[in-house]
């Protein structure tokens, strides 16, 4: 883990995990996981199996669920079939007002997600949040998904912001580990971190 020296000034950039933060799509992903299990191992993935894995990358899914497919094949399956379950995706009602306020404060923002690019774009469009994010860092753009720091570092490079001038908002241990590995202050949404918030709107109290 990198030694973190956080800048005490207001952050220049806010990095957001997507699922579980701006949108809530765990039910959609579970329904898709059931299909994945039937297709690539002969039986559906249970809720008990799925719950501790939500938010990890595709390669980790293959290992965790014992799937007989490649990462490329699984990504393709996700991309093809996720839209069948978009009705189960909810948008956090605080997302749009928060992003509007961050824009008014001239903060840079980015998405940092283990979702692959086509799916992330589809989810953001469906949530009507796509215009808010000039930078969307996705798992297929880097060598290693979260909990590795690659995605966080990729987003920072795209924004041209140093690690000590950014914060990341996430809701899982994968987000926390990736943020810490990149030297970025981590704000947990209902999750322990350098700071913790219970609702998205509380983020404004920290910046």
pLDDT tens column, 80-123: 998 898 888 899 999 999 999 999 999 999 999 998 899 899 88
In a domain, 139, yes or no: yes
Same domain, 101 and 71: no
Same domain, 104 and 74: no
Same domain, 95 and 181: yes
Secondary structure letter of residue 145 according to DSSP: -
Average pLDDT rounded to a whole number, residues 115-132:
90
Same domain, 133 and 77: no
In a domain, 164, yes or no: yes
In a domain, 75, yes or no: yes
Question: What are 28's two structure tokens?
Answer: 């959609």
Same domain, 105 and 136: yes
Same domain, 77 and 110: no
In a domain, 120, yes or no: yes
Average pLDDT rounded to a whole number, residues 128-139:
95
Contacts of 8 (CB under 8 A, 6+ apart): none
Bridge partners of 112, per DSSP, are 137
Last residue of one domain, picked from the residues 53, 88, 123: 88
Find how far residue 62's CA is from the centre of its chain. Answer: 19
* Beta-carbon count within 10 A of 191 CB: 18
Give SS3 for 19. Answer: strand
Same domain, 41 and 121: no
In a domain, 130, yes or no: yes
pLDDT bucket at 4, cuts 50 / 70 / 90 = low
Strands (E), 56-203: 90-91, 108-113, 135-138, 166-170, 185-189, 195-197
Same domain, 94 and 175: yes
Q: Which residues of 138-162 are buried (b: 16+ CB within 10 A; e: fewer)?
A: bbbebeebbbbbbbbbbbbebbebe
Same domain, 32 and 51: yes
**Do 123 and 70 form a contact (C-beta atoms < 8 A)?**
no
**Do 107 and 94 form a contact (C-beta atoms < 8 A)?**
no
Question: What are 109's two structure tokens?
Answer: 């923002």
Enclosing domain of residue 102: 13-24+90-206
pLDDT bucket at 13, cuts 50 / 70 / 90 = very high
CATH number at residue 119: 3.40.50.1000
Same domain, 84 and 101: no
In a domain, 7, yes or no: no
Q: Which residues of 62-87 are buried (b: 16+ CB within 10 A; e: fewer)?
A: beebebebebeebbebbeeebeebee
Same domain, 52 and 112: no
In a domain, 1, yes or no: no
Per-residue pLDDT tens digits for 166-185: 999 999 999 999 999 999 99
Counting the structural domains of the chain, the total is 2
Same domain, 99 and 199: yes
pTM of the model: 0.82
Q: Is the dihedral of CA 80, 83, 85, 88 positive or negative?
A: positive
CA 135/CA 14 separation, integer angstroms: 11
């Amino acid at each position: 883990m990198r030694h973190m020296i956080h800048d005490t000034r207001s952050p220049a950039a806010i990095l957001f995990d997507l699922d579980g933060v701006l949108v809530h799509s765990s039910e959609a992903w579970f329904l898709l996981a059931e299909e994945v299990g039937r297709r690539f191992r002969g039986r559906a993935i249970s809720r008990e199996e799925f719950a501790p894995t939500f938010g990890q990358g595709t390669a980790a899914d293959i290992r965790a669920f014992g799937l007989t497919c490649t990462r490329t094949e699984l990504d393709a399956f996700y991309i093809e079939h996720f839209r069948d379950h978009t009705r189960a995706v909810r948008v956090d009602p605080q997302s749009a007002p928060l992003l509007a306020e961050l824009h008014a404060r001239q903060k840079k923002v980015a998405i940092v997600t283990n979702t692959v690019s086509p799916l992330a774009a589809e989810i953001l469009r469906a949530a009507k949040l796509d215009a808010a994010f000039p930078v969307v860092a996705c798992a297929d753009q880097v060598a290693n998904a979260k909990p590795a720091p690659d995605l966080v570092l990729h987003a920072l490079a795209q924004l041209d912001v140093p690690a000590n001038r950014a914060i990341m908002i996430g809701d899982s241990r994968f987000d926390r580990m990736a943020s810490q590995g990149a030297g970025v202050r981590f704000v947990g949404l209902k999750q322990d971190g350098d700071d913790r918030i219970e609702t998205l709107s509380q983020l404004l109290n920290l910046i």
